[in-house]
């Protein structure tokens, strides 16, 4: 087909017919039921996340012995996964910390590789959040530590610009 040719198809809406006219539960009921189910999964999550945090610690120890970009990439991937799950299980600070750690490595892997202590600090803070059961994003102590981490990240990158630490959506 030519560069500017456009074909438009409108497939029949089979899904509309399939769901029919019977109404579903209220959205509030859906949310309440889902939140209850996710709360039941929270204990499992705390086991999974502890495994992930141990994997992160082991990865940093391994990097201290011998640098391997694949290991750093693995840390970044795990940080991304933690970001994607923390809020779902009532730990928005884990989402923030995963976001910060991912951004720190993604922005400049060489800088991150020279600041393994800063990566480890993220993991320590995640562990603290979990151990203390800090579910409140506005917790004063947690905010203080977050601010300290942000400052350390800015210094590590060697400029005065603020790192990307915007809070991801958690609703």
Pair 87, 128: CB distance under 8 Å: no
User: In sequence order, what are the residues at sequence separation of 6 or more whose Cβ sits closer than 8 angstroms to the Cβ of residue 34?
Assistant: none
Pair 105, 79: CB distance under 8 Å: yes
Q: Write out the binding residues for another protein, residues 85-104 only, by CB under 8 A.
A: 85-88, 95, 99, 102
Is residue 84 at the binding interface for another protein, with CB under 8 A as the rule?
A: yes
Q: How many CB atoms lie within 10 A of CB 134?
A: 17
Contact with another protein (CB under 8 A): which of 50, 80, 135, 157?
80
By CB under 8 A, how many residues form the interface with another protein? Answer: 50
Minimum distance, C-beta of residue 96 to another protein, in the bound complex (Å)? 11
User: In sequence order, what are the residues at sequence separation of 6 or more whose Cβ sits closer than 8 angstroms to the Cβ of residue 107?
Assistant: 157, 163, 164
CA dihedral 116, 117, 123, 127 (to 10 degrees): 160
Binding mask 37-66 for another protein (x = CB under 8 A): xx--x--xx--x------------------
Q: Footprint of another protein on this chain (CB under 8 A)?
A: 1-11, 13, 15-16, 18-20, 22-27, 30-31, 33-35, 37-38, 41, 44-45, 48, 77, 80-81, 83-88, 95, 99, 102, 168-171
């Amino acid at each position: 087909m030519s560069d500017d040719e456009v074909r438009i198809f409108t497939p029949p809406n089979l899904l509309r017919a399939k769901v029919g006219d019977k109404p579903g539960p209220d959205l509030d009921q859906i949310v309440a039921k889902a939140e209850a189910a996710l709360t039941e999964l929270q204990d499992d999550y705390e086991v999974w996340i502890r495994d992930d945090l141990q994997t992160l610690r082991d990865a940093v120890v391994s990097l201290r012995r011998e640098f391997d970009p694949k290991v750093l990439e693995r840390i970044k991937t795990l940080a991304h996964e933690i970001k994607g799950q923390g809020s779902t299980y009532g730990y928005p600070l884990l989402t923030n910390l995963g976001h910060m750690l991912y951004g720190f490595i993604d922005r400049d892997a060489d800088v991150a590789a020279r600041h393994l202590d800063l990566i480890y600090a993220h993991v320590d803070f995640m562990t603290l959040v979990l151990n203390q059961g800090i579910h409140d994003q506005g917790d004063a102590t947690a905010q203080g530590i977050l601010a300290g981490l942000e400052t350390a990240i800015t210094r590590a990158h060697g400029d005065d610009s603020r790192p990307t630490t915007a809070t991801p959506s958690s609703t």
